[in-house]
């Protein structure tokens, strides 16, 4: 081949290349012990919670399905952010640290293709874990005669996956700022603590200290993506936000039937924003 | 074929490549030579778009900054640090690289054979020795059949036999009319592989010359380690000192400091004086 034969290829995003990279990520995930550890842990805990919800009893206003769903939401809001954040945080930083990212990007691919392929592959892997866990819980609930509201169950599962890819986006954003895999993991665990525990306490403390109005409390709650997911999920299966107290009742009164969709949109925005930020940072052409 | 204009690269406050400009013609073979930290690898990485840089790099008439996919398609790359996906098998890694370049999979077998990796195709990358990894790197660089090859220390992990084989392979690629950019510490290797040497120091070009002139241009020195019969080392030392050579005894023989081009003079002086040399090595 000579100079005259140097062929130009499109600099635009090529879905086929994205697919090649995503496929590799999925194969890597399936071969990874971490993936199986998370999948088995999530499915096991989901199964335990579904089995523990006694059929026919009424606790805190929820039927057996409601209690299974509430338990799964509580499980999801702890486990899934940790999964998504750590997986995302290690993705780019780990490859950068090992030098494999340099190998990948020396190919005729764009950084956008590398990023999107990695993201999609990990999103599919997380989907397998989340839907696997919810599938196991659903089967157990139905087997116990739990009278499951299938559409609510599916909506919660979808919201859980949305939470997973939101956290994946945050994890990958951390990854683009970090050169070492372990440092990225450390930061991601700190962010998980903030989202899963400290953020909630912060909102409570702020609301007490500053006497936030109802709408202010609602907004500060959904500023935490994990809390936005929780409220969207609770609305999905119970139609109310009593857990949020007067602010929840205010939300139901103000937005009525639209509340579920509004919270779903907020959760979706939380899935998009960090991912776009990570993509922009990674594609900006810095050193590999 | 390759035009680099006013390339500069900063890491923080440290300028690792300083106003580097170079034209490389189609089919030309050029070495970037210099000590560690001279900036050779950074220049190669800039050509691949792996580092952000100031200046302009053109490959085959295309700006590497705006046509990265096209320019990378024209280049095969053997990295200095042989870091791939360690958990993949050799075959899967080559297959993945082929898919990213849209190359038919049957070419993988062909290239494995060319670099004698067929017997190792089922091994995981992490199980490979340094030499086998180097061959894998060469295989990955070769199998898109690119007009340009960027070889960052391509023989650094190879034993003498594999190095000879790799040099033979690269000489063949050069004869085919490919454009080669090689970084290397080995002056002799460059003489066999390249038309021009770009000597770099602290990120800047120090001299551009013919490979046979490099040692002289840079005043490179070498040591001859001479193994002599028992009892003749003192006489040898006297002869060499008389001829103006700096020489000293060590536990296994005699060390003589020579210019890169003047190795034969020391040997000839000893032979004229009737001193028998049993063996010799060149140390740099």
CATH number, domain of B278, equals 3.30.70.980
Q: Report the Cα B249 to chain-centroid distance in Å.
A: 32
CATH number, domain of B175, equals 3.40.50.300
On whether residue A1 sits in a domain, the answer given is: no
Tell me: do B205 and B231 sit in the same domain. no
On whether residue A30 sits in a domain, the answer given is: yes
Average confidence (pLDDT) over B215-227: 79
On whether residue A288 sits in a domain, the answer given is: no
A145-182 as b/e, with b when 16 or more CB fall inside 10 Å? ebebbeebbebbbbbbbbbbbbbbbbbbbbbbebeebe
Q: Which residue has the tokens 């779903």?
A: A264
Give phi and psi for A225, each to the nearest 5.
Answer: -60, -35
- pLDDT of A54 reads 54
Q: How many CA atoms lie within 13 A of B67 on its CB side?
A: 19
Q: Which of B218, B237, B268 is the last residue of a domain?
A: B218
On whether residue A50 sits in a domain, the answer given is: yes
Tell me: do B163 and B234 sit in the same domain. no
pLDDT of A2 over the 50 cut: no
Tell me: do B212 and B131 sit in the same domain. yes
The domain total for chain A is 1
Indicate the SS3 state at residue B279.
strand
On whether residue A134 sits in a domain, the answer given is: yes
Tell me: do B268 and B234 sit in the same domain. yes
Burial class for A268, CB neighbours closer than 10 Å (0-12, 13-18, 19+):
middle
Residues of B with CB under 8 A from a CB of A: 1, 11, 26-27, 45, 48-52, 59-62, 65-70, 72-74, 77, 79, 81, 83-87, 96-97, 99-102, 140, 145-147, 177-179
Task: Collect all residues of chain A within an 8 Å Cβ-Cβ radius of residue B102.
Answer: 16
Closest CA to A223 of A278, A266, A268, A264: A266
Average confidence (pLDDT) over B225-233: 87
The tokens describing A84, both together, are 């998504």
Tell me: do B20 and B68 sit in the same domain. yes
The partner residue sitting opposite A107, judged by closest CB among B59, B81, B97, is: B97
Separation CA B32–CA B149 (nearest Å): 13
On whether residue A286 sits in a domain, the answer given is: no
Domain of B63 in residue numbering reads as 2-218
> Distance from B69 to chain A by nearest Cα, in Å?
4
Number of Cβ pairs < 8 A linking chain A and chain B:
104
- pLDDT of B188 reads 73
Tell me: do B201 and B261 sit in the same domain. no
Separation CA B57–CA B53 (nearest Å): 9
- pLDDT of A106 reads 95
User: What percent of chain B shows pLDDT beyond 70?
Assistant: 99
Tell me: do B252 and B137 sit in the same domain. no
Task: Collect all residues of chain B within an 8 Å Cβ-Cβ radius of residue A286.
Answer: 52
Tell me: do B14 and B145 sit in the same domain. yes
The tens digit of pLDDT for each residue in B35-85 reads: 888 999 999 999 999 999 999 999 999 999 999 999 999 999 999 888 899
Average confidence (pLDDT) over B89-106: 91
State the pLDDT confidence band at A151, using cuts at 50, 70 and 90.
confident
Tell me: do B166 and B209 sit in the same domain. yes
Tell me: do B243 and B150 sit in the same domain. no
On whether residue A3 sits in a domain, the answer given is: no
Domain of A261 in residue numbering reads as 14-281
The partner residue sitting opposite A102, judged by closest CB among B61, B79, B86, is: B79
Nearest CA in chain A to B48: A106
Instruction: State the greatest distance between any 2 C-alpha atoms of chain B, in Å, as a whole number.
Output: 69
Average model confidence (pLDDT) for chain B?
A: 89
On whether residue A130 sits in a domain, the answer given is: yes
User: What percent of chain A shows pLDDT beyond 70?
Assistant: 90
Tell me: do B166 and B256 sit in the same domain. no
The partner residue sitting opposite B81, judged by closest CB among A9, A10, A99, is: A99
Closest CA to B58 of B138, B145, B148: B148
> Distance from A241 to chain B by nearest Cα, in Å?
47
State the pLDDT confidence band at B224, using cuts at 50, 70 and 90.
confident
The domain total for chain B is 2
Tell me: do B85 and B188 sit in the same domain. yes
The tokens describing A155, both together, are 């909506």
Q: Inter-chain contact A2–B59, Cβ cutoff 8 Å? A: no
What is the edge-to-edge ordering of all strands in the sheet holding B2-11? B14-24, B2-11, B54-59, B62-63
State the pLDDT confidence band at B251, using cuts at 50, 70 and 90.
confident
Burial class for B35, CB neighbours closer than 10 Å (0-12, 13-18, 19+):
exposed
Q: Which of B218, B235, B265 is the last residue of a domain?
A: B218
């Amino acid at each position: 081949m000579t100079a005259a034969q140097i062929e130009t290829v499109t600099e635009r995003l090529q879905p086929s290349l994205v697919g090649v990279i995503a496929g590799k990520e999925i194969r890597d995930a399936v071969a990874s012990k971490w993936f199986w550890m998370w999948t088995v842990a999530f499915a096991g805990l989901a199964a335990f919670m579904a089995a523990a919800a006694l059929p026919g009893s009424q606790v805190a206003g929820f039927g057996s399905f409601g209690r299974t769903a509430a338990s799964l939401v509580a499980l999801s809001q702890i486990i899934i952010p940790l999964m998504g954040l750590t997986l995302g945080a290690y993705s780019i930083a780990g490859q950068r640290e090992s030098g494999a990212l340099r190998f990948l990007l020396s190919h005729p691919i764009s950084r956008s293709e590398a990023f999107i392929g990695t993201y999609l592959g990990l999103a599919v892997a997380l989907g397998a874990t989340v839907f696997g866990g919810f599938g196991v819980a659903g089967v157990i609930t139905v087997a116990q005669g739990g009278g499951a509201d299938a559409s609510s169950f599916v909506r919660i599962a979808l919201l859980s996956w949305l939470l997973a890819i939101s956290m994946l986006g945050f994890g990958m954003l951390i990854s683009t700022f970090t050169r070492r895999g372990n440092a990225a993991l450390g930061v991601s665990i700190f962010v998980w603590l903030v989202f899963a525990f400290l953020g909630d306490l912060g909102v409570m403390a702020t609301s007490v200290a500053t006497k936030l109005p109802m709408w202010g409390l609602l907004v500060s709650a959904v500023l935490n993506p994990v809390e936005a997911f929780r409220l969207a999920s609770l609305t999905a299966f119970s139609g109310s936000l009593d857990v949020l107290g007067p602010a929840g009742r205010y939300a139901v009164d103000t937005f009525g039937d639209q509340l579920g969709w509004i919270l779903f949109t907020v959760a979706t925005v939380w899935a998009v924003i960090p991912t776009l930020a990570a993509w922009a940072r990674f594609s900006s052409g810095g050193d590999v | 074929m390759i035009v680099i204009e006013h390339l500069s690269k900063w890491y923080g406050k440290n300028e690792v490549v300083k106003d580097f400009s170079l034209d490389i013609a189609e089919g030309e073979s050029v070495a970037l030579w210099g000590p560690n930290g001279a900036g050779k690898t950074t220049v190669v990485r800039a050509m691949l778009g792996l580092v952000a840089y100031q200046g302009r790099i053109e490959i085959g008439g295309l700006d590497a900054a705006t046509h990265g996919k096209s320019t990378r398609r024209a280049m095969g790359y053997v990295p200095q640090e042989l870091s791939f996906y360690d958990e993949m098998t050799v075959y899967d890694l080559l297959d993945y690289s082929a898919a990213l370049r849209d190359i038919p999979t049957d070419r993988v077998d062909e290239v494995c054979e060319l670099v004698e990796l067929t017997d190792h195709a089922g091994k995981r990358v992490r199980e490979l020795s340094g030499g086998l990894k180097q061959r894998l790197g060469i295989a990955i660089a070769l199998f898109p059949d690119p007009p340009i090859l960027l070889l960052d220390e391509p023989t650094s992990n190879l034993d003498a036999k594999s190095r000879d084989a790799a040099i033979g392979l690269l000489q063949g690629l050069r004869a085919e009319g490919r454009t080669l950019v090689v970084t290397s510490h080995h002056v002799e290797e460059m003489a066999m592989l390249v038309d021009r040497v770009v000597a770099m120091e602290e990120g800047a070009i120090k001299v551009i010359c013919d490979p046979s002139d490099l040692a002289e241009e840079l005043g490179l020195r070498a040591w001859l380690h001479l193994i002599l019969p028992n009892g003749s080392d003192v006489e040898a030392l006297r002869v060499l000192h008389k001829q103006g050579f700096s020489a000293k005894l060590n536990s296994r023989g005699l060390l003589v400091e020579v210019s890169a081009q003047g190795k034969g003079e020391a040997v000839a002086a000893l032979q004229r004086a009737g001193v028998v040399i049993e063996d010799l090595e060149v140390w740099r």
